[in-house]
Amino acid sequence: MALVDDLRSTLGSDRVHSHPLELLVYDKDAGVTRGEAVAVVLPETTQEVAACVRIAASHGVPVVARGAGTGLAGGSVPAEPALLVVLTRLNEIWEIDEYARTAWVGAGVLNLDLSRATEHLGLHYAPDPSSQAACTVGGNVGTNAGGPHCLAEGTTVAHILGVEFVTSDGDVVMLGSKAPDPPGLDLRGVVVGSEGTLGIVTKVLVKLTENPPAVRTLLLTFDSIQAAAATVSGVIAAGIVPAALEMMDQPMVVAVEGFIGAGLPVEAAAVLLAELVGLEEGVVAEASVVERIANEAGATSVRVAADDAERAVLWKARKNAFGAVAQAAPDYYLHDTVVPRTKLAEVMTEIYEIGRRNNIQMLNVFHAGDGNLHPLVAYDAREPGMSEKVRAAAEEMVRVSVAAGGSLTGEHGVGLEKRELMGLVFEPIDLDAQARLREAFDPHGRMNPGKVLPTGARCFDFDLAGKKEVSP
């Protein structure tokens, strides 16, 4: 294949893969959809990424960027045969400025490695997805990833100051800067969360956050999801914004406890993990308020982590929730929606009813503080008709969330999984505006085609029902 020959002449044969078995490793992410890569390349520099993009363009082959493959919405899965550009070898931390509290890092740097590299300076990178030990900073930028500790600090976009960016023509540009309020359009903000549809981020200027002087972590247990949800609403209403407010239902607690053995109360209908950070006096005072609100809502127990070791065990349990599901079934389908905090209990009741009606096994873990739900269906894809049933139930969960005033996704992105549901939250004119913005960056449609925007997103082309419209 001429494309592969040109790529090998640029990168060498050891960093270009085209054998079907090699491609099989890369044509799927952590979700359930599989695509087709015509070749996989592993560049090590921005210049090599740009060269690969130019070669693909010369052969009329689209390009899909991929990080560690931990995505759950099919964002890095080719929607059509494409060149897969894997960025994991762009994993250098070039510069850490402890005074400006910034760092320049490669797109392939692991999220957790960045915080480990800055720990001795009393700094960390705040966004902390559950997959932070495996996911990359570039992948986080692509989906505007969140995490348990984004309640107070904000998601990825709040921590990115600039990006080095390869355009669809293979040019390299810089978007954003260290300046706190640069003039002009915020193209940095446009790129964060664009899921590789505008170009490829190769280098990232991140904002670092000071480690808090004091931390207090509480494990609160309840005999109902409703009581736990009432506690979440009560804490926020009291003017307290914890660093994290994470909830797990009983099926998830049972799975996690069998996997980690963290001493979680498996008899509880729901557990709430609350973390408060700041100055010692303030943390103690806020923890007391959280405990009081929880008890008023009907908490059955309150446990305060005695030290950093116990706190680490509790967080290990929370962040291994998805891995723990392997005990229940060989496959899982994980959704990611957002609902108003005041609607948590109501929506969760409807989601449980969807699971019951479809006779599917469901476990729930979510960022309760910001209403970001993660209903997880455990199933066996080998069972005839099961995958279709699970997908249908998952779509119903999305529709319930949106109907409650929520959104399609909080942090996993739209990708392939929710592309055709964009019409639930955007009018045709909004989708048209997004499509025009995308075309301004990528007029030839080379970058991650078939993602995010639904079929017929352009108003003058087709409406969401697929009916031809007349151009205005």
| Domain span(s) for CATH 3.30.465.10 in the chain | 93-210
Q: Answer yes or no: is pLDDT of 424 > 90.
A: yes
Average pLDDT over residues 235-248: 96
| Domain span(s) for CATH 3.30.43.10 in the chain | 2-86
pLDDT band at 73 (very low <50, low <70, confident <90, very high): very high
Q: Answer yes or no: is pLDDT of 379 > 70.
A: yes
Q: Answer yes or no: is pLDDT of 125 > 50.
A: yes
| Domain span(s) for CATH 3.30.70.2190 in the chain | 214-322
What average pLDDT does the chain have? 93
Average pLDDT over residues 262-279: 96
pLDDT band at 463 (very low <50, low <70, confident <90, very high): very low
pLDDT band at 418 (very low <50, low <70, confident <90, very high): very high
- Residue owning tokens 């992410």: 29
> Residue 414: which of 457, 445, 443 has the closest Cα?
457
Q: Let me know if domain 214-322 sits in CATH 3.30.70.2190.
A: yes
Q: pLDDT per residue over 149-179, tens digit each?
A: 999 999 999 999 999 999 999 999 999 998 8
Q: pLDDT per residue over 92-101, tens digit each?
A: 999 999 999 9
Average pLDDT over residues 383-394: 95
Average pLDDT over residues 329-348: 92
Angle at 364 between CA 361 and CA 370, to 5 degrees: 155
For 253, the token pair is 């607690």
| Domain span(s) for CATH 3.30.70.2740 in the chain | 328-419
- State residue 462's pLDDT score: 41
- Residue owning tokens 């991140």: 206
- State residue 152's pLDDT score: 92
Average pLDDT over residues 72-79: 95
Q: Let me know if domain 328-419 sits in CATH 3.30.70.2740.
A: yes
- State residue 1's pLDDT score: 85
For the domain spanning 2-86, the CATH number is 3.30.43.10
- Residue owning tokens 């075309």: 439
- State residue 79's pLDDT score: 96
Q: Answer yes or no: is pLDDT of 460 > 60.
A: no
Angle at 23 between CA 20 and CA 29, to 5 degrees: 140
Domain 93-210 -> CATH class: alpha beta
